[in-house]
Amino acid sequence: MNAYEEYMKAIVQPMRQELVDAGFTELTTEDEVHEFMATTKGITLVVINSVCGCAAGSARPAVREAIKEIKPDNLVTVFAGQDREATAAMRSYFEEVPPSSPSIAILRDGQLEYFIPREQIEGYPVEQIRDHIVGVLKQACAK
């Protein structure tokens, strides 16, 4: 690992830990993603994490608050720009939507049910994003 990679790893660790501490499983390799997706059942909330300000100020806080209200069966995250292979592998399961980070995907038995792209995160208040996530999860979990 070169000096830049080492530096970035140290910088993003708190950003990773924020979701792990909230109960998310971090998938860091392509194999971990494929293994998870091959066996997942129920409703999964996927966060494609990012170093950007809208991830820190909006996406991660909104997700953490949303899962206090309604918790799906599975919580997983990949980190765009850091774990490139894992992120590409996760995105391969919902190729019908353009790559976006941060973003949030709601899956049912591994199939995309709903997607919240960066455009619906950046510039929106945390409460509005949280309510959006909660509404989608309540619908998905009620089916």
CATH of the domain at 83: 3.40.30.10
| Lowest model confidence (mean pLDDT) among 8-12, 31-35, 123-127, 134-138 | 8-12
Report the percent of the chain where pLDDT is more than 90: 84
In a domain, 2, yes or no: no
In a domain, 122, yes or no: yes
In a domain, 9, yes or no: no
Q: Give the contacts of 31 (CB within 8 A, at least 6 positions apart).
A: none
Q: What is the pLDDT of residues 4-38, one digit of tens each?
A: 888 888 889 999 999 999 999 999 999 999 999 99
> Catalytic: which of 37, 52, 59, 67?
52
In a domain, 66, yes or no: yes
- Domain span at 104: 21-137
Between CA 81 and CA 72, with CA 62 as vertex, the angle to 5 degrees is 90
Average pLDDT of span 76-81: 95
The number of folded domains in the chain is 1
SS (H, E, C) 98-113: CCCCCEEEEEECCEEE
Active site residue 141: no
Active site residue 54: yes
Average pLDDT of span 104-116: 96
Q: What is the pLDDT of residue 88?
A: 97
pTM of the model: 0.95
> Catalytic: which of 33, 54, 55, 62?
54
Mean pLDDT of the chain: 94
Q: Give the contacts of 112 (CB within 8 A, at least 6 positions apart).
A: 93, 94, 96, 97, 105, 106
In a domain, 104, yes or no: yes
Q: What is the pLDDT of residues 59-78, one digit of tens each?
A: 999 999 999 999 999 999 99
Number of Cβ within a 10 Å radius of residue 72: 20
